[in-house]
Amino acid sequence: MNPNDIQTFSVTFKTTNEAYLYITNWLISYPKDIEVISDKILPDTQELYDNDPFFKKLVKISKDANDAKLDYINKHNK
């Protein structure tokens, strides 16, 4: 990985609101180096996933669709 190459990264983590604000403020303090493309707070769906078979099925369908999309991108994106 060349340190000067520009890449797109996606990181998901769980933290306090205070740390989230600190991190997002830090990111936007580097406008020449970092472009924030997406910033969203994800809902906690653990209870729904554990107790709702239909939601669990939707998560599986979504994961399979995303895997197929990434596979297609990797095969066709030159």
Can you give the residue range of the structural domain that contains 72?
A: 17-76
Domain count within the chain: 1
Residue 55 lies in a domain: yes
**pLDDT at 4 (0 to 100):** 86
What average pLDDT does the segment 59-74 reach? 97
Task: Transcribe 36-49 into DSSP letters.
Answer: -----PPP--HHHH
Residue 5 lies in a domain: no
pLDDT exceeds 90 at position 76:
yes
Backbone angles phi, psi at 64, to 5 degrees: -65, -40
**What band does 78 get if pLDDT is binned at 50, 70 and 90?**
confident
* Sequence-ordered list of residues with C-beta below 8 angstroms from that of 37, at least 6 positions apart, any chain: 8
Q: How far apart are CA 56 and CA 62, in angstroms?
A: 10
**What band does 60 get if pLDDT is binned at 50, 70 and 90?**
very high
**pLDDT at 30 (0 to 100):** 95
**pLDDT at 39 (0 to 100):** 92
